[in-house]
Amino acid sequence: MTIILDASSAISMTLDPTHPDSKSANELIKKSDYIICPDIFVAEITYTLWKYCLYEKMEVDKAIEYAESVLSLVDQFIVSNALWQDALEIGLKKSHSTYDCFYLALAIEKNAILLTRDKKLKQLAQAENIKTV
């Protein structure tokens, strides 16, 4: 089973591992054969942890530890250059952020399950017949 891990789910699993959604996500990751993400995942994780440092007073060392933990979950990062056209087309067709559409494009290409905590992204994926968790 191939999983597309999005940043919202990865951050939630790391920052709140006792949450029921985080527990089920961790179980799914343990059962998966392969975890892939578009390479924008790295920028999204970095940006999110940067915000936690600025606004939630997270220590930089802790942010780095969380980033390393999250990034270590991923078996392969797919270059955005291979996905941008599909992401743009999906975004325009669905009037949705192209950042999210990179994950959708990858899930479609790999016929994979999208693991996300983003409700709008989950609804959009389901409308495109993409399996979600």
Q: pLDDT tens digits for 30-75?
A: 999 999 999 999 999 999 999 999 999 999 999 999 999 999 999 9
Per-residue pLDDT at 19 exceeds 90: no
The rounded percent of the chain whose pLDDT value lies above 70 is 100
Residue 70 CA to residue 7 CA, distance in Å, equals 9
Per-residue pLDDT at 133 exceeds 90: no
Q: What is the 3-state secondary structure (H, E, C) of 6-50?
A: CHHHHHHHHHCCCCHHHHHHHHHHHHCCEEEEECHHHHHHHHHHH
Predicted confidence at residue 20, as pLDDT, reads: 84
pTM summary value:
0.93
Comparing CA positions, the residue from 129, 102, 124, 123 lying closest to residue 5 is: 102
The rounded percent of the chain whose pLDDT value lies above 90 is 87
Q: Which class does domain 2-127 fall in?
A: alpha beta
Q: What is the mean pLDDT of the chain?
A: 94
Write out pLDDT tens, residues 95-108.
999 999 999 999 99
Predicted confidence at residue 101, as pLDDT, reads: 97
Predicted confidence at residue 63, as pLDDT, reads: 97
Sorting pLDDT into bands at 50, 70 and 90, what band is 21? confident
| Residue 115 buriedness (CB in 10 A; 0-12 / 13-18 / 19+) | buried
Mean pLDDT of 100-121: 96
